[in-house]
A and B are shown apart, each in its own frame.
Chain A
Amino acid sequence: MRDYTQFITELNKKKETAWLYLYEEFYPALCAYAAKLTHGDVGVEDIVQECMIGLWDSSLQFANVNALAAWLYKAVYNRTLNLIRDRGNARRLLGNYSSEMPYTEEMAIDLAIEETVIAKLRLLLMELSDQQQQIMNLSLDGLKVKEIAQILGVSENTVKMQKKRAYALVRERMGIVWGVLLTTFFSNYF
């Protein structure tokens, strides 16, 4: 897996590249996380962006990526709770007493773990070429090799070939230990 030591050092120093990577890995995951907690999509990007701004303005230093992830998910969780509370207040004012039931902290942590896993898979898929990504996404949509070939206007052989290459790349990226066992997971799509 990726070595995060350098990333964390540069993030602490507020280096641009580290911050762009921070957004690439965590931003979509945190947004999806906030959307699940609020049962909706309204304002989730604002919630996450405010947390990021808070982090930028602070002088927080993280020891490792675990501490960083903990801070980010917890910050988004707290902000979301505030939002739900305020929405509840507005509802009461409008005469509607129902209020959303927030997730328990433990459920929220499980959700954070899930989004982190999805983010890691997303980054993995991002390393593929455009055509490979297209093919992977269409495969994820449940389409067969023949259908994908028709949509992309390429031969079935090309689709199969690209899938193989994508698989090889993912295997290389994940390291030999996992590679051997990847087949079962990706067999759903290959």
Chain B
Amino acid sequence: MWKDIYNFSERLLAHILRKEAVSEEVLGEFEQRLALLARKLENPETLRKRLQQQYSYDPVRAYQQLRFRRRRRQLRRYGVAAGIVLLLGIGGSLWLQQVAVDPLTISETIQAGRKKAILTLADGSVWNIGDSAMLISTAAENIRIDSLGLSLQHQNTMENCGDERFFHCLTVPRGGEFSMTLEDGTRVWLNAESEIHFPSQFAGKQRRVQLFGEAYFEVAKDSLHPFIVELGDSKIKVLGTSFNVRSYTDEQQIVTTLVEGSVSFENARERIVLQPGEQSILDGNGRIQKREVDVYPFVAWKEGLFIFRRQRLEDIMNMVSRWYNVDVRFEDEDSKNISLSGGMRRYDGFEALVEMIETMGRIKYEIKDNTIFIRGQK
């Protein structure tokens, strides 16, 4: 029985260590089993191999992964305020511990982001995906990972597929990006530190997905089934179009930029329709504004470029820090508001980028471990 495992193992260990002599004639079924298992483990060669196998798994690292995951989830759930509290509380000490355990990570040079993501399937299984091709097979579908990103292939129609419980989740960490094709043919590019929840198969009148962070959508045309992107309390409703949406919790605003077609952006209070070349901004107070923009800088990330047009240095560094997975500290308030225009390839090194910013923005920087300190030039 399963519940006897622990009890039995203690008796077995005692048996092995004692080498107790058991008289043959009184051997019950229980003792026979004990003796059999003991004989197997008493062999020094077996014992050595099995001990070494257990040594090969690192419980402390695994425990820290669990803690890190919990911190990330809490951050997402409670938003920025909770994030600050956590950082002041256990967050700080956790970070220190991780550095202490793994000194290698801090001496690594800062690298550009790359294709990587964590896929959590509706059944709860978790997959680390990246550059290499994979085929994940579940009861309902095959999930393919290849050079075009993630795509879904169906085996049979499921009845409950529009149900919350059958939503998969693709999480892109800081320093990552990933693209995917939904079941209806819609293409999605996810930027660093973003997450999308999508169903195995769309059902009902609407095609619904949930987004955290930034993504570019090329929605497959289907006028009978509107495509809805849910962003917390707000949502974007589209028929068939291409647009970019940026809704990082820490920026406290949702920026939707339309490239072609038409979309409507709505929250509980307002609804606004966008034409190509227009952008809507929902600010922290729940107000929606609309303006005309040059769309390219807002979607350039998807083409592997950083493009800034008269943007505040703080906003630029915010974006950059997600891609290179670095922390940014400003040593004075004035530097945050320096306005910059420029562009570069996303896959170039971090040093090249900050050198460009240093020259153009008249700032000084210093990189310590994984943090960049910025201050104005005197």
Contacts and interface: CB of A to CB of B under 8 A. Distances in A.
Interface of chain A, main secondary structure? helix
A136 to B, nearest CB: 10
B135 interface: yes
A182 interface: yes
Interface stretch (A49-57, A150-158, A161-169): A49-57
B16 A117 contact: yes
**Most chain B C-beta atoms within 10 Å of own C-beta, residue among A46, A70, A74, A142:** A70
Interface string A48-92: 111011101000000001111110011000000010001101100
A105 B347 CA distance: 51
A28 interface: yes
A75 to B, nearest CB: 10
B60 interface: yes
A31 interface: yes
A27 B66 CA distance: 12
Nearest to B42: A185
Interface in B1-53: 1-10, 12-14, 16-20, 33, 37, 40-42, 44, 47-48, 50-51, 53
A74 B51 contact: no
B17 A32 contact: no
A188 B16 CA distance: 13
Interface of B: 1-10, 12-14, 16-20, 33, 37, 40-42, 44, 47-48, 50-51, 53-57, 59-60, 62-63, 65-66, 69-70, 123-127, 135, 137-139, 142
Given A50-B126, A140-B51, A56 B12 contact: no
Interface of chain B, main secondary structure? helix
A23 B124 contact: no
Nearest to B63: A23
Contacts of B63: 19-20, 23, 27
Given A50-B125, A140-B51, A45 B62 contact: yes
A140 B44 contact: yes
B44 A28 contact: no
Given A181-B19, A185-B16, A117 B41 contact: yes
B54 A32 contact: yes
B47 A140 contact: yes
A21 B20 CA distance: 31
B84 to A, nearest CB: 21
A110 B37 contact: yes
Contacts of B57: 27-28, 31-32, 45
